[in-house]
């Protein structure tokens, strides 16, 4: 890591309410801070001298009818500048620059003597602000009734949003004007809603917007630790968003002890959508890595005994009977197998053989452990112990078989959202993983929370998720948490947090489908805080061919599914479909085999939320590049230049694309493969269909004989 401080400037104590301004290093982003005549903290934000956030209030409402919203005086301000370059353990790029200017405003409430500081960090692509509460005699323990952080919009922007919900993010996105959020709210709430919606104008972050004059604005949060997740509630009349924290079982939003601070509230801004996707502001606002030895943390490409259960072809449970005694004392030898249990020895070995043959790293197996029949029977308090396999899953034999084939098994811990039960068994479960050579776990939090009344995104559960990650690190285990709180960049601090779901993933293609623009919105929203285990790679879109009782249709094309290995960034990438479906399209499957999961560089070539995302990524440690382009709710004519290639090198490109006859509903498995020579002068025009896309592998030529018989790819459209 290279790190250096550019400058530090301390200002004298200031007792007046005059406005203070802090600008980004280039001066294109500025933030103004002042106190109103009544002592209310107020900030505003500009981009290239254009107002982005109008004057917006800051503060807290506390339990007991007290507040930290007004009556403040400004005790002192100080500014500083910071510039560092750091290397992530894994990521989209080899190095990340963290360069900002900072303003710290130290406040005191005149009537109570309570102190509250507000810190702003301003980057060339946005800003972050947070509240800080120093140790003080007048404020020690306090309970938050609500945080009142406002984001006053300058107009009725277009927004891509999902409803505010304390327990799920698994929604399709809605595109609308801000003033139309309440109008479309009911239709946006699908059957997967958790019934904890808080407002007809409430939305979740990251929230992506676009102004009528082409400015892209994104609101989110960073470094969510020991605090409740932030949603946004909109005053539609005045177009002002205000923070709305996830409550606990008593309805309060946080229980804090000084010294402490809030997460960062972030605003990204640019006139180029590609720069929103390329931003590292969220990561930079998190603390540096706290794991001293990271050599065991490795990106993973995996398959899974999973999709057949998601589609309903197989089952997680070994039996349909309910045990007559508690889980820990249950004898499964007396229970009748249901004949559909997918995690059985023979089936797992079949997957191991296929994954090994085609160069995968790991194999996820869900439904391996006892308790699923209890859960489905609503015996939730006594479900999983995370160490006891079903009778038809020989954990020792299967791990030895996998290791002999160069494959690791990936552990699965479905907690059924019983966090206390999981914590009770966690140490024993991690020890079992160490014993059999597992180094990664997919954890799940499906269902209502235990303790009762808590929510998936409240302070209690956010502390639980982080506890599991830090405990896993002690055992050198990587964590992929599903149904957990949406990421806020904590993977910088704890890089063993190698993946999250926390959004509507591929599984919904087997539950009725997702909107065709879904994967062109997720990079602007869900992926702002960290990578997503989206589980792409579906080649059979007619789900009834897998399970005759499931009439769902995956609203994608094969070329689209290939593109997601680049556009949906993750160091944890799954080939989610069944081996037999890949065997029918082995020439297309080659891209999944070739594409890496760790990168030295990433360049966003085209981007527009809801319409298309095209990105080129350079494989770590090589000169090979991979390009992915996902298309939204209309066909796209993609024009890209390969000028990112080295000027003195030749390359062989293989393009996997939609054809002129491809249709995501009627002909989704139609694709075309074109192979030829390219260099840094090459320009490509590629047509894609709705919910389609393309993927390109670009390998450096190391031997001229590799070029034999290949022609230079022209700039004519590839249809």
Token pair for 352: 């191991």
Q: Return d(Cα 321, Cα 35) in angstroms, integer.
A: 65
Residue with tokens 């709305």: 244
Q: Could you tell me if residue 496 is left (phi over 0), alpha (psi between -120 and 50 degrees) or otherwise beta?
A: alpha
For residue 387 the two structure tokens come to: 């160490």
DSSP assigned state of 395: H
Q: CA-CA distances (angstroms) from residue 345 to 54, 350, 413, 432, 619?
A: 61, 9, 19, 19, 35
Q: How far apart are CA 93 and CA 96, in angstroms?
A: 7
Catalytic residues: 507
Phi, psi (degrees; rounded to nearest 5) at 133: -120, 105
> What residues have CB less than 8 Å from 203, skipping those under 6 apart?
159, 161, 162, 163, 164, 181, 231, 232, 234
C-alpha 118/C-alpha 132 separation (Å) is: 6
Assess contact for 410 and 364: CB atoms under 8 A. yes
Tokens linked to 539: 């080649």
Cβ neighbours of residue 116 closer than 8 Å, sequence gap 6 or more: 60, 68, 72, 107, 108, 109, 131, 132, 133
DSSP label of 380: G
Alpha helices in 97-232 (DSSP H): 181-188
Instruction: Say whether the peptide bond before residue 451 is cis (omega within 30 degrees of 0).
Output: yes
Task: Name every residue whose Cβ is closer than 8 Å to that of residue 324 and which is 6 or more positions away in sequence.
Answer: none
Tokens of 716: 């004519």
């Amino acid at each position: 890591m290279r790190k250096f401080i550019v400058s530090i400037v301390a200002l004298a104590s200031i007792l007046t309410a005059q406005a203070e301004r802090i600008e980004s290093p280039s001066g294109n982003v500025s933030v103004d801070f002042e106190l109103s005549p009544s002592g209310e903290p107020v900030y505003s934000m500009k981009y290239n001298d254009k107002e982005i956030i109008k004057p917006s209030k800051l503060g807290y409402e506390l339990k007991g009818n007290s507040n930290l919203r007004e009556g403040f005086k400004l005790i002192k301000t100080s500014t500083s500048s910071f510039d560092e370059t750091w290397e992530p353990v894994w990521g989209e790029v080899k190095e990340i620059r963290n360069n900002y200017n900072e303003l710290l405003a130290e406040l005191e409430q005149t009537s109570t003597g309570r102190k509250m500081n507000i810190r702003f960090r301003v980057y060339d692509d946005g800003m972050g602000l947070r509240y800080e509460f120093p140790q003080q005699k007048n404020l020690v323990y306090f309970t938050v009734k609500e945080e009142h952080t406002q984001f006053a919009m300058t107009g009725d922007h277009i927004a891509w949003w999902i409803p505010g919900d304390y327990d799920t993010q698994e929604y399709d996105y809605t595109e609308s004007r801000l003033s139309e959020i309440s109008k479309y709210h009911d239709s946006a709430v699908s059957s997967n809603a958790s019934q904890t919606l808080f407002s007809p104008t409430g939305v979740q972050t990251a929230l992506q917007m676009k102004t009528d004059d082409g400015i892209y604005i994104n609101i989110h949060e960073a470094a969510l630790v020991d605090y409740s997740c932030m949603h946004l509630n909109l005053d539609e009349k005045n177009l002002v968003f205000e923070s709305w924290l996830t409550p606990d079982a008593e309805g309060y939003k946080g229980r804090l002890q000084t010294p402490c601070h809030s997460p960062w509230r972030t605003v990204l801004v640019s006139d180029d959508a590609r720069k929103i996707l390329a931003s590292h502001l969220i990561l930079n606002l998190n603390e540096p890595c706290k794991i001293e030895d990271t050599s065991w943390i490795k990106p993973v490409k995996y398959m899974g005994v999973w999709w057949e259960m998601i589609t309903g072809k197989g089952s997680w449970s070994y039996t349909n009977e309910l045990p007559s005694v508690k889980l820990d004392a249950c004898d499964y030898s007396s229970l009748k197998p249901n004949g559909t249990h997918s995690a059985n020895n023979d089936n797992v070995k079949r997957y191991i053989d296929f994954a090994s043959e085609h160069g995968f790293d790991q194999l996820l197996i869900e439904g391996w452990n006892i308790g699923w029949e209890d859960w489905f029977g609503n015996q939730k308090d006594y479900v999983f112990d995370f160490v006891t396999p079903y009778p038809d899953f020989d954990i020792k034999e299967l791990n030895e078989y996998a290791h002999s084939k160069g494959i690791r098994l990936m552990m699965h811990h479905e907690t059924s959202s019983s966090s206390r039960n999981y914590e009770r068994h966690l140490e024993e479960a991690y020890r079992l993983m160490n014993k059999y050579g597992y180094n990664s776990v997919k954890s799940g939090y499906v269902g209502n929370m235990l303790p009762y009344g808590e929510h998936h995104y409240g302070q209690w559960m956010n502390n639980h998720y982080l506890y599991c990650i830090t405990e896993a690190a002690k055992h050198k285990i990587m964590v992929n948490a599903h149904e957990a709180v949406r990421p806020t960049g904590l993977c910088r601090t704890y890089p063993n947090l190698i993946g999250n779901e926390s959004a509507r993933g591929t599984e919904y293609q087997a539950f009725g489908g997702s909107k065709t623009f879904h994967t062109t919105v997720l990079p602007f929203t869900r992926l702002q805080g960290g990578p997503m285990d989206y589980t792409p790679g579906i080649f059979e879109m007619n789900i009834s061919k897998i399970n005759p009782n499931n009439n769902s249709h995956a609203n994608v094309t094969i070329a689209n599914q290939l593109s997601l290995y680049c556009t949906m960034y993750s160091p944890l990438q799954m080939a989610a479909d069944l081996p037999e479906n890949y065997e029918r399209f082995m020439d297309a499957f080659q891209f999944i085999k070739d594409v890496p999961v760790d990168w030295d560089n990433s360049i966003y070539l085209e981007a527009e939320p809801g319409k298309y995302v095209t990105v080129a990524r350079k494989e770590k440690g090589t000169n090979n590049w991979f390009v992915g382009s996902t298309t939204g709710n209309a066909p796209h004519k993609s024009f890209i230049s390969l000028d990112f290639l080295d000027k003195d090198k030749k390359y062989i490109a293989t393009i996997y694309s939609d054809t002129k006859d491809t249709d995501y509903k009627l002909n989704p498995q139609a694709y075309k493969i074109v192979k030829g020579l390219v260099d840094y002068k090459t320009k490509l025009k590629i047509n894609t269909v709705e919910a389609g896309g393309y993927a390109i592998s670009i390998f450096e030529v190391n031997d001229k004989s590799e070029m034999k018989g290949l022609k230079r790819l022209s700039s004519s459209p590839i249809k």
